Structure formats: C-alpha cells, structure tokens
Amino acid sequence: MTLQPLIDHFESYLPFDEGERQLLEGRVTQRKIKRRQAILQEGFPCKHYSFVIEGCFRMFGVDPKGTEHTIQFAAENEWIADIGSFHSGKPSKLFIEAIEPSVVLQIEKEDLYFLYTNIPKLDRIFKVIIEDKYVELQNRVLQTISSTAQERYVAFLEQYPNLAQRLPNTQIASYLGITPEFLSKIRKDLAS
C-alpha cells in the first residue's frame, strides 16, 4: 500500500511526524476499483471517506424518472464521500461510481475518529477540507440559480481543468443540469 500521496496531501496543510504517519498507516485501507464499480450505492450507509490516488469518480443521485444528477467529481488527490450518510449512519440517497479504473485509500468512521483524537492536527486539516468543499458547493448552488448554462460550463472547466477530456459528455451535462445535445451546442459556440 502506498500512503505517500495521502501523506503529501495532509502535509500540504500541516507537517506530520513519523509517529503520526505510522498511526495513519494502520487506519487506512487501499482498494482497486474497476471502471463503473460503485463504492457507494443508494440505500446503503456511506462507510468510508475515500481519497483518490488514481482515477476518477462521480457522486450522483437518480430521480424517480430514472434521470441521473451528478453532484460531484473527484480525481487524483481529492476526497469523495456522502458526508451526511457517513456521519449519521443513515442510508445514502446517492451513488459513488468509478468513471475509470481507480485506486483509493479509504478511512472508516471509527478509524477517522481515532485519528482525530490521536493526531489533533488531522481534525483541523479535515475541517479546512470540508470548509473548502462547502464553499465549492455554495458557489455551485449560486451558479445553478443565477448563471447561464454556458457560464456554468466555463466554471466547470475552471474547476475541473483536467477532467473535461476524461469525462463523457453525458456526465458533464448531468453535472451542469443540461442535455448532452445542449452541451455540444455550447462547446460549438465557444469554439467559434
């Protein structure tokens, strides 16, 4: 198991000593995930925070008509979890699925709480990570209610510059709340 990308990620906030690295190592699990494999399914509680080492994931919900609504993407060096389900233990209303073959490091709830207690700086680091994601969510909600589809697409390209070429149009369109056909039109308009 390679923990170095996770340690590097945490140390971009605060340095870790050798004892903290060893505590972390005993509480993290590495998993290889196949393309289209789910690490969370609707109706089951979210049991892990997942840190992406390789690959890409999307979190999405499915409405009663069967339409998928993408909420978040996560690629290398990013976290993904249904935080509400993770903390409450209640069944999730979301799916988290690999878009491409991936490798993640996962931390279960009891292990995360152990790490918060035994590595206090980790509690602060996760607080900042969650706050940053919350700001992202606020900006996304504001864009959704006040921006045109083209403005949302440009913002998507700014937020996920490395993903636009890796994701199918259907998933980008789902994230933007538009049809794939309308996304093609927006791309044509921007290219001309």
State the pLDDT at residue 30: 96
User: Which amino acid, residue 13?
Assistant: Y
Find the radius of gyration of the CA atoms of the chain. 18
- Phi first, then psi, for residue 57 (nearest 5°) are -130, 160
Instruction: Say which DSSP state 80 is in.
Output: E
What would the pLDDT profile of 105-148 be if each residue is shown by its tens digit?
999 999 999 999 999 999 999 999 999 999 989 988 998 899 99
| Successive 10-residue mean pLDDT values, the chain, 192 residues | 90 95 94 98 97 97 94 95 96 98 97 95 95 91 91 90 88 93 92 86
Distance from C-alpha of 138 to C-alpha of 144, rounded to nearest angstrom: 10
Regarding whether 82 and 10 lie in a shared domain, the answer is yes
Regarding whether 167 and 133 lie in a shared domain, the answer is no
CATH number at residue 20: 2.60.120.10
Regarding whether 123 and 83 lie in a shared domain, the answer is yes
Regarding whether 77 and 90 lie in a shared domain, the answer is yes
Distance from C-alpha of 100 to C-alpha of 56, rounded to nearest angstrom: 6
Percentage of residues of the chain with pLDDT beyond 70: 99
Regarding whether 139 and 169 lie in a shared domain, the answer is no
Length of the chain: 192
Q: Which of 5, 65, 57, 59 is nearest to 33 (CA)?
A: 57
Task: Kindly report the number of other CB atoms within 10 A of residue 138's CB atom.
Answer: 10
Regarding whether 96 and 62 lie in a shared domain, the answer is yes
Q: How far apart are the first and last CA of the chain?
A: 47
Regarding whether 69 and 16 lie in a shared domain, the answer is yes
**Strand spans (E) along the chain:** 29-33, 38-40, 48-54, 57-62, 68-74, 79-80, 95-98, 102-108
Regarding whether 92 and 36 lie in a shared domain, the answer is yes
Q: Which domain holds residue 37?
A: 4-146
Regarding whether 169 and 77 lie in a shared domain, the answer is no
Regarding whether 187 and 139 lie in a shared domain, the answer is no
Regarding whether 112 and 137 lie in a shared domain, the answer is yes
Regarding whether 171 and 113 lie in a shared domain, the answer is no
Q: How many domains does the chain have?
A: 2
Distance from C-alpha of 86 to C-alpha of 57, rounded to nearest angstrom: 17
